[in-house]
Amino acid sequence: MRPQRSGPALLLFLVSCATAGQDAAVERPLSPPSLSTPLVIAHRGASGERPEHTLAAYELAIAQGADAIEPDLVPTRDGVLVARHENEIGDTTDVATHPEFAARRATKVIDGRSVMGWFTEDFTLAELKTLRARERLPELRPANTAYDGREAIPTLDEVIALAKRRSKELGRTIAVYPETKHPTYFAAIGHPTDALLVRALDAAGWRTADAPVFVQSFEIANLKRLAGMTRVRLVQLLDATGAPADGGAPSYAAMTTPGGLRAVARYAWGIGPNKAMLGDGKLVRDAHAAGMRVHPWTFRAENRFLAAPFRREGAARGDLPGEIAAALRLGIDGFFTDFPAIGVAARDAMRDEDQ
């Protein structure tokens, strides 16, 4: 949980909410041309069936019909953005088995939390490429461990190249939906990842609001910076508890009031709330009223991650299609899932219902 904030941060946020009302909400296109809606966003690839953030996971997600693939982005020591959920890579690679890197194990404070392990910013890209990915949740996804040791850590450029190649081969647009991880932390240690990201998107020819790319962040300041650096769509991530690590708002809850959402709409195209925040759909309705789209996270098949009504006693997995369908009925515009094949089927079944 991120710490709640008050005092100056609260005052600043309330002022921004008040002034945001001066900007009329505008209707914005839902997605770049040729993308399906609601969007099925492959969370770290088809991470329910392959080790996350690998080209194999992204390839499978695309084959299963995902509209977008999501790389979380962290930098290397030599300034290359790579796809890892966190900059600490002890749980997602075989780095611990490499004696040549044993001395790089360290403890760092990231967003106020002490973390021990191996960190991407302490490795060059060439060094990271000697590592191999492994399943992060072997106790829940034992079948995925069969793919341990097969895949390298991909760069953002490699993910973009994959999306472009498969878009051409399949005749449909595959979007890329990157998340900037810990941007304030990285800027403070000399790795301003926003500039690296925009440089990569510009090189891909993705500069405008109809480009097949969505950039997301749990922080506020870097999204506002990005709004001045690029025209691509920006998505403000929201959690059910805590506050942005950069202190840009007193809490995520404060950002979900009608005034808070209008403030977000001044720099973001949409929001990505924790699915636990959907409730009866009020957040979706209020976000739409502010002119934004809603892409909740993360829909997973395992009972541990499902809302209580969709869990199945005595089974490893529950009713993921039912949970997705319930969210779609609230009017969401897309969703993140570790199981894109299930997500696509659930989305398409809802379309059939509506026809």
Task: Tell me the percentage of the chain whose pLDDT exceeds 70.
Answer: 90
Place of tokens 């480009």: 211
Only one residue has tokens 């005749």, namely 171
Radius of gyration over every alpha carbon of the chain, rounded to an integer in angstroms = 20
* Per-residue pLDDT at 42: 98
27: domain range?
A: 8-85+152-354
Q: Is residue 170 part of a domain?
A: yes
CA distance linking residue 137 with residue 269, whole number of Å? 32
pLDDT of res. 37 = 86
State the pairing for strand pair 233-238/214-217.
parallel
**Band of the pLDDT at 10, cuts 50, 70, 90?**
very low
* In a domain? residue 121: no
Is a pLDDT exceeding 50 seen at residue 243?
yes
Q: What region, left, alpha or beta, does residue 334 occupy, with left being phi > 0 and alpha being psi -120 to 50 degrees?
A: left
Buried b (16+ CB within 10 A) or exposed e, 84-113: bbbbbbbbbbebbeeeebeeeeeebebbee
At 274, is the secondary structure helix, strand, or coil? strand
* Mean pLDDT calculated for residue range 247-272: 98
What would the pLDDT profile of 52-106 be if each residue is shown by its tens digit?
999 999 999 999 999 999 999 999 999 999 999 999 999 999 999 999 999 999 9
> What is the tally of structural domains in the chain?
1
Query: 3-state class of 234 per DSSP?
Result: strand
Tokens of 318: 């529950």
Q: Is the pLDDT confidence value at 34 over 90?
A: no
Task: Summarize the confidence of residues 304-310 as an average pLDDT.
Answer: 97
pLDDT classification of 35: cutoffs 50, 70, 90: confident
Of 178, 273, 192, 165, the C-alpha closest to 233 is 178
Average pLDDT over residues 328-353: 95
pLDDT in tens, 123-148: 999 999 999 999 999 999 999 999 99
Phi, psi at residue 85, to the nearest 5°?
Answer: -65, -35
Nearest of 115, 70, 72 to residue 90 by alpha carbon: 115
**224 has a pLDDT exceeding 50:** yes
Lowest mean pLDDT among 20-29, 67-76, 80-89, 159-168: 20-29
Q: Would you state the pLDDT for residue 196?
A: 97
Confidence (pLDDT) at 195? 96
% of the chain with per-residue pLDDT over 90: 88
| Confidence band of 238 (pLDDT split at 50, 70, 90) | very high
Q: Give CA angle at 206 (200, 207), nearest 5°.
A: 100
CB under 8 A, 24+ apart: contacts of 304-309: 304/140, 307/275, 307/276
Q: Is the pLDDT of residue 29 over 90?
A: no
> Above 80 in pLDDT, residue 33?
no
Q: Which residue has the tokens 């194990």?
A: 105
The DSSP letter of residue 284 is: H
Question: Judging by DSSP bridges, how do beta strands 68-69 and 39-42 pair with one another?
Answer: parallel
Confidence class of residue 7 from pLDDT cuts 50, 70 and 90?
Answer: very low
Rounded to the nearest 10 degrees, the angle between the axes of helix 55-63 and helix 156-170 is: 20
With respect to residue 27, please indicate whether it lies within any of the assigned structural domains.
Answer: yes
- Give me 295's structure tokens: 């892409």
Which of 239, 212, 236, 242 is CA-nearest to residue 293? 236
- For the chain, the average pLDDT equals 92
Q: How many CB atoms lie within 10 A of CB 6?
A: 10
Report yes or no on 40 lying in a domain.
yes
Return d(Cα 55, Cα 51) in angstroms, integer: 9
**Residue 340 DSSP code:** H
Contacts of 239 (CB under 8 A, 6+ apart): 2, 218, 252, 273, 274
- For residue 337, pLDDT beyond 80: yes
* Angle 184-185-190 from CA coordinates, rounded to 5°: 95
Average the pLDDT over 37-48 and give the result. 97
Reply yes or no on whether the pLDDT at 4 is more than 50: no
| Residue 132 in domain | no
Residue entry with tokens 């190649």: 165
pLDDT at 301 over 80: yes
CB-count exposure of residue 24 (10 Å: 0-12, 13-18, 19+): exposed
Do the domain assignments include residue 1?
A: no
pLDDT tens digits for 175-211? 999 999 999 999 999 999 999 999 999 999 999 999 9
Q: What is the rounded CA–CA span in Å between residue 297 and residue 276?
A: 9
- Is 135 a domain residue? no
Q: Is residue 74 part of a domain?
A: yes
Any idea which residues carry the catalytic annotation?
A: 43, 85
- DSSP conformation class of 123: S
User: At 300, which CATH number?
Assistant: 3.20.20.190
- The CA distance from 1 to 222, in Å, is 20
Render the burial of 37-50: b for 16+ CB within 10 Å, e for the rest: ebbbbbbbbbbbbb
